[in-house]
Amino acid sequence: MTRKALGKLLVMLFVLLVIAVGCSSDDTGSNTESDNGVNDGAESGTLPEMTDDEITLTYASWKNHELNEFLADKFMEKYPNITVEVVPLDTEGWNDNLTNLASTGELPDVFWYNGNVDIAIRNGWLGDFTEYFEADPETEDLLDTMVDPGYFDGERKMAAATDYFPYAVFLDENLFERMNVDMPSPDWTYNEMIDLIQEMTVPEQGIFGYNTGGKLLTIAPIVNQDAVGEFGWDGEKYDLTTDWAEAANLRAEFIRSGVHAPLFDTDEAEAAFGDREIWPASTGKVAIQIDAWWTVGAFSEPEFTDKGMKWVPYVVPKGDNAETENKPAYIDFGTISPATEHPREAYELMKFFGWSKDGWEAKLEAFKTMEDGNGNLVFKHPDGLPLIKDQEIWDELRTLLPDSHYHDDFLERAKNPVSLGGRALPGFETFLGEVYFGGEYGDVETAITNGEVNAHDIAPDLTEKANEYYEAALEELNY
């Protein structure tokens, strides 16, 4: 039984005990009020009421500014006594900008931190909203894999998922047809993808099996080990000795042998495409592009369609022996300031901009109606996927995507996202900087590709260090 499931069971048993005691007691008021006479809803399993006072909340994220303003207006319609001020920050140097605000006591009531949660931990930016999150009925509607991230110390909920873009694997359907290769099942497996990558590599025709934004060494441990984080993270520790090591070596082999498209700004790219800086996915010479969901919009542009390409989305394949549908995803996280004077209301604002149903209803309205100065829609497709299970929201979002079974298949299988490490796992980003990309092996991935090291040989050392960095980061989470 998981920690969260155990917690819910204990709450249910407690409620039954309270009911039993209450029914046998003459003191009818003792179960509804705290010692100071205030009904603390969070402690009794229900959210406290929102304030009726006139208050102001500040909010900062790097989403489209007009969308943020649109959502702020919708929130203020729902809560007329609350004024929401969107703080415009330069997206470049985001965390530095937050540091500057914090130094003057102006850290927004609600904000997103960018990439590296270690920075937020070291600076004491993370507010504790456990009591609200665990008393909130809407928490039950979160995608299952999005409930636990943010419990960095295992006890306190200090960050929550606010935006979701899955990894996606795009296949050029027209190229598959020309090469007389069947498109795979939407329920394909990891090894089927590997086999297909190799089958679609045709050197004599200048066709490359795949190109990457996302990497095999990121995908393999998550889908094959049913992991809940990068590098085989199982909720307690990392393990790079199996799937990470195998995928790292395979990736290196694919790059060296020409299965992977030539890397950016290399002589090989110049020879293959006549342009060393061109994106291989735009050449018509790549069968599979591993990337992010936001690329779905780019692939519908004339740059691709006019060249005869038809990129269609597949979810990252399932591990051949996996028990889950866990798949890597770009997840952004938000939190409330520990200094906010209105934590209950700040929590509700964070949820509205992130995962709540009413917030997503407002987002869908924005996707359909927001126009730029020329009268064109700002959003040609939905900006991200819902973080909740609510089928009405998913069905409405589906109407904003192309009418193809590929998109149906994708959305049906994209509900078990696993966040990349730096945003959700303390110590991970610091480990990357000091060990993985800047330690004794130099850039680990480059060293493996160049044949300087074998991934299996260094994986035990990397595993030990990754776990040490995690433990060290937890020690800093002491506020």
Q: Give 398-422 pLDDT, tens digit per residue.
A: 999 999 999 999 999 999 999 998 9
Q: What percentage of residues in the chain have a pLDDT greater than 90? A: 85
Helix-helix angle 243-257:455-476, to 10 degrees: 130
- Please tell me the pTM assigned to this model: 0.88
Task: Show the domain range for 204.
Answer: 166-327+437-476
Q: CA dist 212 to 180, 204, 261, Å? A: 23, 21, 8
Report the DSSP beta bridge partners of residue 169.
Answer: 290, 314
Long-range contacts, 38-46 (Cβ 8 Å, 24+): 41/135, 42/131, 42/132, 42/135, 43/131, 45/11, 45/15, 45/135, 46/135
Task: Determine the pLDDT at residue 43.
Answer: 46
Name the nearest CA neighbour of 255 among 423, 451, 467: 451
Task: Determine the pLDDT at residue 365.
Answer: 98
Task: Determine the pLDDT at residue 465.
Answer: 98
When pLDDT is averaged across residues 387-405 and rounded to a whole number, the result is: 96
Name the nearest CA neighbour of 355 among 123, 134, 160, 120: 160
Total structural domains in the chain?
A: 1
Q: Please state, in angstroms and rounded to a whole number, the distance separating the CA atoms of residues 274 and 254.
A: 21
Task: Determine the pLDDT at residue 16.
Answer: 38
pLDDT interval class at 115 (50, 70, 90): confident
| 414 touches 106 (CB < 8 A) | no
Is 241 part of a structural domain of the chain?
A: yes
Is 77 part of a structural domain of the chain?
A: no
pLDDT tens figures, 4-30? 444 444 434 333 333 333 433 333 232
What CATH number is associated with residue 466? 3.40.190.10
When pLDDT is averaged across residues 196-202 and rounded to a whole number, the result is: 98
Element (H, E) at 3: helix 3-23
pLDDT interval class at 464 (50, 70, 90): very high
Is 341 part of a structural domain of the chain?
A: no
pLDDT tens figures, 253-286? 999 999 999 999 999 999 999 999 999 999 999 9
Is 430 part of a structural domain of the chain?
A: no
Q: Are strands 286-292 and 160-172 parallel, antiparallel or unpaired?
A: antiparallel
pLDDT tens figures, 131-140? 999 999 999 9
Is 184 part of a structural domain of the chain?
A: yes
Q: How does 215-251 read in b/e, with b if 16+ C-beta sit within 10 Å?
A: ebbbbbbbbbbbbbbbbbbeeeebbbbbbbbbbbbbb
Mean per-residue pLDDT of the chain: 90
Task: Determine the pLDDT at residue 100.
Answer: 94
Least-confidence region, from 31-35, 214-218, 288-292, 436-440:
31-35
- Provide the terminal-to-terminal Cα distance of the chain, rounded to the nearest Å: 29
Q: What percentage of residues in the chain have a pLDDT greater than 70? A: 90
Is 286 part of a structural domain of the chain?
A: yes
DSSP code of residue 188: -
pLDDT tens figures, 302-360? 889 999 999 999 999 999 999 999 999 999 999 999 999 999 999 999 999 999 999 99
Is 49 part of a structural domain of the chain?
A: no
Task: Determine the pLDDT at residue 40.
Answer: 45
Is 63 part of a structural domain of the chain?
A: no
- Residue 56 φ/ψ, nearest 5 degrees: -125, 135
